[in-house]
Structure 1
Amino acid sequence: MVSLAITALSVTAVLVPLVMSVSLVYRVSGVVNFGTGGFCVLAGAACASIGATNSLLGVVVTLLLGAVLGGLCYLIAILPAQRRGVPPIGLTLSTLGFGLLLTFLTRVGFGGEPSIIQPWWPGSFTVNGFQSANQRLLVIVLALLLVGLLYLLFDRTMVGRTLIAVADDSDLASMYGVRARRFELLAWVVSGVCLMIGGMFQATLASVSVDVAPTLLVYALVGAVIGGLGSLFGAVGGALVAAIGMTLTDAFIAPGYHLVAMFVILSLALVLRPQGLFTFRGTAERV
């Protein structure tokens, strides 16, 4: 049981930044970011390459790169199309194109081989006879810190509250002098950083490559929908449910059936609670 719990929590820690990113941009821009996998694989490759001699430098540069790419995705793939009245489905396809571009750049710049980031906390620990890497514990703690930071940003700062207002009604917010486009850009920047964090987490626990970009996208989308697409913190619960499903599938059925298990969970969630398992009236009003 200890091994299953640690594995499930570490998988959740990888999924949390991804599902929060997807939910954030959907709530603010009405767009599902299909470029999620491209961001993640670039993050792993960039951090592994840049941080080969200095891991801290690799992390910092990768986070800055995520902020820049998140902003560029909005400015290039979203904003021009929004001004021309392109419907949300068209905007979503634009993010897919941006993600494919990132995947191509990753293959050209870093090669197509799997990228592995050396553990930030080497060594292992033992609980009730089960041995696990310290990195798993570190990733779990960092994911909790990320959730806490985003909670403080959106619930305890004027910037976050203004972003919530833009997400709820951008036209009304603009009437009060809020420059909605700037806050949408901020949401995409934060989203890009979150995706880079998720990509780095995955590369420290296992590996990432251009071939797993579609799989990471599916994980992020399923987790976000299960928790409640558009509910930032409800998506955290969705990530946990998805991670538990994946872990139990590996342990009791067979490895390699993650996607089947996730789609079964997704189908049940949509039948029983289509608005999301963790979206309630109190949380639905939040980003």
Structure 2
Amino acid sequence: MMRVLYGVSPNDIPSFDTKRLRAEFLIEGLFAPGHIEFAYTHVDRMVVGAACPAETPLAFGGGADVGTPLFFTAREMGIANLGGAGRIIVDGQEFALANRDILYVGRGAEQVALASDDPANPARFYMNSVPAGRDIAHRLITRDEAKPLDLGEDSRSNRRRLRMYIHPEVAPSCLLLMGITDLAPGSIWNTMPPHLHERRMEAYCYFDLAEADRVIHLMGRPAETRNLIVANGDVVISPAWSIHMGAGTGPYAFVWGMTGENQAYTEFDPVPVADLK
């Protein structure tokens, strides 16, 4: 059975201690060697997951945990490779994924198998899945095929390159958006300015952190912020009512995945940093 997060009202946040805040919004331990792990959130019914195959490929496809005959009966998925080279086989169709490539898996797939090319340098597959209402063909989007956006300023320590992978301008989907952001050397801040998008939720998977480093992820309503201390491979669920921004104690990157009422990446409401409490 996959883990389940039920989601909470923003009015509940003032009463949460650190343990409760982490239990509701932070998913730890997804990247378990030799296993597939999933977590289901009632926030727009996104499923996040990870698979770390070693010598033996890992496969899934049954729908018991999502209430349908197959996992993909009414779902689509993006799978990002955050490790060594690997392969994904979707109903016999094989795709080779290098580091920072993403595979889109469309509605109707029956079985997905994930494998590492070299068990000594295994693939680390990270997954976002959301409900889908139409069939779209599976597609591999390589790092070079993603659409880059250079954002931020060195003087403000927030220069970064955002790459859109699953996006109407690159590879279509039903409701899923997915991409990867890399920070420039010396920059620590992501997602500046902080913002809200009331019609979409978001999931952040932080990766490429050293063992001793952490990201301080800020969340909550602008006038009632809280923080999560996030380690390598941890995933933060960010509801539509919450701001999201973070700073790292060392180099890091993150995968962002979104779903909701629309796919307009720029449809959001900035929040001036001076207004945060």
The two structures have a TM-score, normalised by structure 1, of 0.28
Higher relative contact order (CA 8 A, sep 6+): 1
TM-score (norm: length of structure 2): 0.28
Higher strand share: 2
